[in-house]
Amino acid sequence: MSLEITFLGTGSAFPSPLRGASALVLRREGQCWLFDCGEGTQTQLMRSHLRAARITKIFITHLHGDHFFGLPGLLCTLSLQSSPDASRTPVDIYGPLGLRSFLWRSLELSHSQLLFPYAVHELVPTRDQCPAEEFKDFSDWDRGEALSRGPPGRVLYLDPAEDSYLLVEDEQLVVRAFRLFHRVPSFGFVLEEKPRPGKLNVQKLKDLG
């Protein structure tokens, strides 16, 4: 399996003319997975060798603006470059609880209609991931109208046995999120490649003794 990482932004707090806010892309099997999407990420993508249209998954570490304020704009730009296709696989977006409401409200207030489907999978944090006075419970934000009209997606809880959240699993790898301590609930992401059994030429081994 081929993996390639491209850093689009390594700046902190806000973008500068020479350094974008937090964003990196993992290219895998022709797909691009975006980790964080700070302001200006789509501009950085245009300067890179990557194709934004190949983004199939987006992972947001935490809800500080320099890590996700670029997301609504990027989705709108991707939509402008797309054709309506009801059969297209949704772009999967993973991030802390509250991200779904932010995206739905941002797109709704700006009258933005995406031409492709997307799903937001929210990670429910534990209260020990940030100082007690900073913890905010967003679990009731998507009740009623927003819940019925907003994007689909799963609500993911911590697996106590693994001390992590299972996000993606296929025949080649597993992607998990784990808790980080920060001023707001934060998550790191681990991609673990599954063991690949080798192929033996049994007859040749026998011939060689």
CATH, residue 81:
3.60.15.10
- Do 22 and 10 touch, CB atoms closer than 8 A? yes
- Do 38 and 62 touch, CB atoms closer than 8 A? no
Domain that holds residue 153: 3-207
**Catalytic residue among 36, 66, 92, 142, which?**
66
Q: In whole numbers, what is the pLDDT of the chain averaged over residues?
A: 91
Q: What percent of the chain has pLDDT over 90?
A: 70
Closest among 66, 71, 77 to 105, alpha carbons compared: 71
User: Is residue 100 predicted with pLDDT exceeding 90?
Assistant: yes
Structural domain count, the chain: 1
Tokens linked to 100: 């779904």
Q: Summarize pLDDT for 127-152 with one digit per residue, the tens.
A: 999 999 999 988 887 666 555 677 89
92 catalytic? Reply is: no
Q: Of the ranges 100-109, 112-121, 139-148, 150-159, which one carries the lowest mean pLDDT score? A: 139-148
Q: Summarize pLDDT for 35-89 with one digit per residue, the tens.
A: 999 999 999 999 999 999 999 999 999 999 999 999 999 999 999 887 777 678 8
25/5 Cα distance (integer angstroms): 6
pLDDT score for 148: 64
Q: Is the pTM above the cut of 0.85?
A: yes
State the residue for tokens 């993911």: 156
Edge-first strand listing for the sheet containing 23-28: 3-9, 23-28, 31-35, 55-59, 91-96, 118-123, 155-156
pLDDT score for 144: 62
SS3 sequence of the chain: CCEEEEEEECECCCCCCCCCECEEEEEECCEEEEECCCCCHHHHHHHCCCCHHHEEEEECCECCHHHHCCHHHHHHHHHHCCCCCCCCCCEEEEEECCHHHHHHHHHHHCCCCCCCCEEEEEECCCHHHCCHHHCCCCCCCCCCHHHHHCCCCCEECCECCCCEEEEEECCCEEEEEEEECCCCCEEEEEEEECCCCCCCCHHHHHHCC
